[in-house]
Chain A
Amino acid sequence: MSLTRSVQQKLSATLPYEELLPYEQPAYVHSYVYLFGIATLASFILLIVSGIVLAAFGPQWWHFSTVGHFLNSTHYWSVQAFFFFMVVHLWATFFQGAWRDGRGLTWVVGVMTFLASILTAFTGYISQQNFDAQWIAVQGKDALNAVGVGAFFNVLNFGQMYGYHIFILPLVVGALISAHLLLVRMRGVVRPYDDAMADEVRS
């Protein structure tokens, strides 16, 4: 069998088209507590859109123009929302035991997304080009030196940190979020501990 054909068959077996955008959900998903994952994703999309505009116009623009201030603030408050919803999503999935029934990888990819997001936020804070950024960079430098990776990352180098923030780390976070979403679609939302409603569906 050709490689293309085996990949195609594997994909259609694990990711059937009709499972990707379901219009039916199990009845137990009918609760506000299941909305925090999608709220995190919505914040991420707002972050990417506002980030693209900021990157296109640059630091002079975001510091010295009214619209630049607005977009800078949009980016800042989006990241507050992103972490806010991600932490509440983490609590919700933790108390549901969302790693049960073969969903361990979904959980692990979520944890990796959280860690990669912290690095992205850190490089973002030190890309602000203000006194806050300088203070955080100097504190961060000591932390990186203490764990022995100071030779690879110069957090006082705006260019290097900005590159990580707007290119490398968003790609990593975006890829991890995509993998997380695909795993959720492939394995579904975990059944509640009390699964009295587990076989009901809502549309």
Chain B
Amino acid sequence: MTPDFMNAPAHYFHAGFILISVANLIVIVLMVLVFILAVLLPFPGGRKTER
């Protein structure tokens, strides 16, 4: 059975010349967020050895 939101037109974010579906906007925001977290968060573990 198809969920209700799939049988309706997509929601859009509209600000001036920017027009983007909310679904696409969420994905872009998530990608930026994941990228920033990956840069900032320390990576755990790992034994350091000098070459």
A binding-site residues for B, Cβ under 8 Å? 24, 27, 30-33, 35-36, 80, 84, 87-88, 91-92, 199-203
- Bound Cα distance from A200 to B47, whole angstroms: 11
- Bound Cα distance from A27 to B46, whole angstroms: 10
Is B4 engaged at the interface, CB distance under 8 Å to the other chain?
Answer: no
5 A-B residue pairings within 8 Å (CB atoms): A31-B38, A33-B35, A84-B27, A84-B31, A201-B48
Query: Which of A31, A92, A203 contacts B43, CB < 8 Å?
Result: A31
Q: Give every chain B residue within 8 A of A202 (Cβ-Cβ).
A: 46-49
- Bound Cα distance from A31 to B36, whole angstroms: 12
Query: Which of B31, B41, B51 contacts A201, CB < 8 Å?
Result: B51
Q: Give every chain B residue within 8 A of A32 (Cβ-Cβ).
A: 37-39, 41, 43
Classify the secondary structure of A's interface with B.
helix
Query: Which of B27, B34, B48 contacts A200, CB < 8 Å?
Result: B48
In the complex, number of A-B residue pairs with CB atoms less than 8 Å apart? 46
Q: Give every chain A residue within 8 A of B38 (Cβ-Cβ).
A: 31-33, 35-36, 88, 92
Query: Which of A27, A33, A36, A80 contacts B48, CB < 8 Å?
Result: A27
Is B30 engaged at the interface, CB distance under 8 Å to the other chain?
Answer: yes
- Bound Cα distance from A80 to B47, whole angstroms: 34
Pairwise interchain contact A200-B51, C-beta atoms closer than 8 A: yes
Chain B nearest CB from A177 CB (Å) reads 20
Residues of chain B from 1 to 49 with CB closer than 8 A to chain A in the complex: 27, 30-31, 34-35, 37-39, 41, 43, 46-49
- Bound Cα distance from A128 to B38, whole angstroms: 34
Q: Give every chain A residue within 8 A of B35 (Cβ-Cβ).
A: 33, 88, 91-92
Chain B nearest CB from A70 CB (Å) reads 14
Chain B nearest CB from A115 CB (Å) reads 19
Pairwise interchain contact A30-B49, C-beta atoms closer than 8 A: no
Would you list the 8 A-B pairs with minimal beta carbon distance, nearest first?
A: A32-B38, A33-B38, A201-B51, A202-B46, A88-B35, A31-B43, A30-B43, A33-B39
